[in-house]
Amino acid sequence: MKIAIIGAGALGSVIGFHLAANHAVTLVDPWEEHVNTINEYGLRCSFDDQEQVRLLPATTSADNLEPVEVALITVKAAQTPWAAEIAAQIVQPNGVAYTLQNGLGNAERLASRLGTQRVGQGVTTIGATLLAPGHVRMAGRGPTTFAATPSLQLAYAVADAFRASSLPAGVSTDLASLVWGKLIVNTGINALTALLRVPNGALANIPAAEKLVRRAVEEAVAVACAAGITIGLSDPVAETLAVARATATNRSSMLQDVLRGAPTEIDTINGAIVREGQRLGVPTPFNAFLCDLITALEATTPLRVK
């Protein structure tokens, strides 16, 4: 199968590295240094106490790319319009671009450029960290699930490709519960770790921080219930704290964004909870406050005292 990974950050590079063992994979990313390093020396991936280098092509644009059956969209939310342009050029008319991005609204943004028939949703719990240009680490081999729509055949094909490359994967007809389950976990962890500047585990170990996780998660759960979503988490606060513990030494993706002065995904995570809450008449003052704090943090980055 011909696969393009659009967004070769930590997650996209780890997935690309694995899939390239069995499939024709191309990485597409605007970061020239990363792309050039991969083309020159191969992509280095550290995982399970070992390190391997694999040769696979990387590029910064869609020029000269052959059409693909599947594109995996792994860019940050702010880069979705860029990814949509690339996908529109290379995904075959009967192919699908699967978004594996955090938060809500990315699939809709892609569909406005590609059409709903060429966009699918996925949810992944693979843990990944970018160590240096051309070098990533896989921190966790969690499962990835693909939506049965718009193409059951391609959803199974891409899930098979993952499994054949030692990445657990499956297909679901009820992806909304998984999307919301992950959204709720991200709502409780990402903004708080970025504001407190702590690794994920601190949220579960420090009662004052745990209290804040509870407030963010309880609002998000109330919104999900009002939206009629059956979330697959029996105790969402406890499960969010369990994810924080399981990824204790990780820096959340939002903390990593804040530390390198990049735009965060606050709008598609806590911002999505606030918007859905407004639409459904569910108050979300704590999540609105987290959005305001992260937005102010982003805006004041250049003025930060060292």
Instruction: Tell me which residues are annotated as active site.
Output: 182
Asked if 237 interacts with ligand KPL (CB under 6 A), we say no
Q: Where are the alpha helices (DSSP H) in the chain?
A: 10-19, 32-41, 80-90, 106-114, 152-164, 175-196, 201-205, 207-226, 236-246, 253-259, 270-280, 285-300
The number of residues making up the chain comes to 306
Asked if 200 interacts with ligand KPL (CB under 6 A), we say yes
| Residue 242 to residue 132: CA distance in whole angstroms | 29
Minimum distance from CB of 189 to ligand KPL (Å)?
4
Tell me which amino acid residue 261 is: G
- For 234, which DSSP code? S
Minimum distance from CB of 193 to ligand KPL (Å)?
7
CB-CB contact of 88 with 112 (8 Å): no
Residues 6+ apart with CB under 8 A from 69: 1, 2, 3, 91, 92, 94, 95, 96, 154, 157
Asked if 250 interacts with ligand KPL (CB under 6 A), we say yes
Number of residues that bind ligand KPL (CB under 6 A): 11
Among the residue ranges 17-25, 105-113, 162-170, 242-250, the one whose residues contact ligand KPL (CB under 6 A): 242-250
Minimum distance from CB of 202 to ligand KPL (Å)?
12
Measured in degrees and rounded to the nearest 5, phi and psi for residue 106 equal -70, -40
Minimum distance from CB of 122 to ligand KPL (Å)?
14
User: Which 261-280 residues touch ligand KPL, going by CB under 6 A?
Assistant: none
- β-pair partners for 52: 45
Rg (the chain; Cα; Å): 19
Q: Which of 253, 270, 284, 287 lies at the binding interface for ligand KPL (CB under 6 A)?
A: 253
Compare residues 59 and 252 and give the one whose CB is closer to ligand KPL: 252
| Residue 295 to residue 257: CA distance in whole angstroms | 12
Compare residues 59 and 250 and give the one whose CB is closer to ligand KPL: 250
User: Which 159-188 residues touch ligand KPL, going by CB under 6 A?
Assistant: 185-186
| Residue 128 to residue 131: CA distance in whole angstroms | 9
Minimum distance from CB of 135 to ligand KPL (Å)?
19
CB-CB contact of 259 with 196 (8 Å): no
| Residue 4 to residue 83: CA distance in whole angstroms | 11
Q: Which of 187, 252, 264, 284 lies at the binding interface for ligand KPL (CB under 6 A)?
A: 252
Minimum distance from CB of 204 to ligand KPL (Å)?
12
Compare residues 26 and 74 and give the one whose CB is closer to ligand KPL: 74
Asked if 243 interacts with ligand KPL (CB under 6 A), we say yes
The distance of Cα 14 from the centroid of its chain, to the nearest Å, equals 12
User: Which 10-49 residues touch ligand KPL, going by CB under 6 A?
Assistant: none
Compare residues 57 and 199 and give the one whose CB is closer to ligand KPL: 199
CB-CB contact of 277 with 221 (8 Å): no
User: Which 101-160 residues touch ligand KPL, going by CB under 6 A?
Assistant: 102
Asked if 99 interacts with ligand KPL (CB under 6 A), we say no
User: Which parts of this chain interact with ligand KPL (CB under 6 A)?
Assistant: 102, 185-186, 189-190, 200, 243, 247, 250, 252-253
